[in-house]
Amino acid sequence: MASKEEIRSEHRRLRKTLSPTQLEDAGSGVAVHGADWAAGRAGGAPAAFAVYLGVSFEPPTLLLMAALHAAGHRVLLPVCEPSRQLSWVLWTPSTPFVSSSYAPINEPVGERLPSTAAASAAGIFLPATAVDRDGNRIGQGGGYYDRLLDFLDSSGVRPPTIAVVYDSEVLPAGTIPAEPFDRPVAEALTPSGVVRLGPGSTADPGPGAP
C-alpha cells in the first residue's frame, strides 16, 4: 500500500496537468452539485456552510461559494491560526483576501469567528487530495481539518461533511492508510456529482476531470 504522502504527491502531480478549460469545467460541476447538496442539508431554509477557497490546481470552489451566497446561505471561510487551529470569516463576493501567515492559501479579511463556529454550520466542505471508498481522506498535510474534525467528533456536534476532489481521486476501498487520528467522511463532492463513501458504497463517481 502506498503511503499518504506518496498518494498526495502523485495526485498533486496529476492536478498540475489540468488545462484551464478542465479547471473551469470542474469548478462549474462542483458548484452545481455542491449547491444541490447544501440545499438538501439546509432543508429549504438559509443556513451556514463552511467552505474554503480552492487555489492553484485544487478543485475550484469560488463558483460554489457564489452559488451558496446567491441562495441566501452564509458562507464561512477558514483562517489558519497558531497550533493548527482554524477561525472563520463570513464571506461575501466583496470580501478581500490576503496570503495566509501559516499555510500556502489565501484567506478572507474580516471579523474572525472561533473554530466552534463550524459546529453550527449545516455542512462542511473539506479540502482533500484523495478519498477512498472507506471514507478515508488525504488532506493537504497541514492537519488543520483533522484537528477540527477531532474537536467536532469529540463534542458530538459534527455537521455533515463532504470532501471536494476530482472524479479520479475517489479511490477503491483500502487504498488510503487509516491512522488513529484520521476522521473518515461519508461523502465526496466531485465535478460529476456526490459520491457516497463508507460501508456499502459501490457506485462509480462517473467520468470527469482527473
143 marked ligand binding residue: yes
141 vs 63 pLDDT, higher one: 63
Distance in angstroms (rounded) separating the CA atoms of residues 26 and 23: 5
10 marked ligand binding residue: no
16 marked ligand binding residue: no
Residue 202: what pLDDT?
53
Task: Please enumerate in sequence order all residues whose Cβ is within 8 A of that of 62, keeping only pairs 6 or more positions apart, or say none.
Answer: 27, 53, 54
Residue 91: what pLDDT?
97
145 marked ligand binding residue: yes
Distance in angstroms (rounded) separating the CA atoms of residues 19 and 35: 24
Residue 59: what pLDDT?
96
Residue 150: what pLDDT?
87
179 marked ligand binding residue: no
Evaluate if residue 154 carries a pLDDT over 50.
yes
Which residue ranges make up each domain of the chain? 4-106+136-196
Q: How confident is the model at residue 206 (pLDDT cuts 50, 70, 90)?
A: very low
The model's pLDDT over 158-192, given as tens digits with 9 standing for 90+, comes to: 999 999 999 999 999 999 998 777 788 999 999 99
Q: Residue 189: which H helix or E strand, with range? A: strand 187-190
The model's pLDDT over 78-129, given as tens digits with 9 standing for 90+, comes to: 999 988 889 999 999 999 999 888 877 889 999 999 988 999 999 999 999 9
Residue 208: what pLDDT?
39
110 marked ligand binding residue: no
Q: Residue 3: which H helix or E strand, with range? A: none
142 marked ligand binding residue: yes
Q: Is 1 exposed, middle or buried (0-12, 13-18, 19+ CB in 10 A)?
A: exposed
What mean pLDDT is predicted for residues 16-45? 96
Distance in angstroms (rounded) separating the CA atoms of residues 179 and 41: 29
Distance in angstroms (rounded) separating the CA atoms of residues 28 and 22: 10
8 marked ligand binding residue: yes
189 marked ligand binding residue: no
Residue 178: what pLDDT?
83
193 marked ligand binding residue: no
Share above pLDDT 70 across residues of the chain, in percent, rounded to a whole number: 94
Average of per-residue pLDDT values in the chain: 90
Evaluate if residue 200 carries a pLDDT over 90.
no
Answering whether pTM is above 0.85, one says yes
85 marked ligand binding residue: no
Residue 210: what pLDDT?
43
For domain 4-106+136-196, give the fold. Answer: Rossmann fold (3.40.50)
Evaluate if residue 209 carries a pLDDT over 80.
no
13 marked ligand binding residue: no
Three-class SS string for 95-147? CCEEECCCCCCEEECCCCECHHHHHHCCEEEEECCEEECCCCEECCCCCHHHH
Share above pLDDT 90 across residues of the chain, in percent, rounded to a whole number: 69
